[in-house]
Amino acid sequence: MQAQIIYNGNNQPVYAVIPWQDYQRLVALDDDNEVIPFDVANYIDNPIKAARIKANWTQTQLADALGVKQSYIAKIEGRNYKPTSDLLARVTSALSV
């Protein structure tokens, strides 16, 4: 297995990037989800984007469910957008359908 190691500013390893086939083999061996814990919310700060990705939806699918344009979804998933609790509730409701 060849891995690409990504280091932080202190030259400490922080990530390992492995080929997809190697990852698939590791997942197949990981029956109890202990070796490869992954929660998209740990890597994406925006709760709307994290919820959409967890639900395996595209921006277009979420936009259609909310009755808005895809560009609006892109905007609310943007780096500096702070979603309201009402918007979070609407998105959560749409994704749970």
The DSSP H or E segment spanning 4 is strand 4-7
What are the tens digits of pLDDT across the range 52-91? 988 999 999 999 999 999 999 999 998 788 888 999 999 9
Tell which residue, 2, 92, 18, has the closest CA to residue 48. Answer: 92
Domains of the chain (ranges, CATH numbers):
1-38 (no CATH), 40-95 (1.10.260)
- Higher-pLDDT residue of 74 and 33 is 74
Q: What pLDDT, on a 0 to 100 scale, did the predictor assign at position 19?
A: 87
- Residues 39-64 have a mean pLDDT of 85
- Over 90: is that where the pLDDT of 21 sits? no
Q: How many CB atoms lie within 10 A of CB 53?
A: 16
pTM: predicted TM-score of the whole model, two decimal places: 0.59
Three-state DSSP class for residue 84: coil
Distance between CA atoms of residues 46 and 5, nearest Å = 26
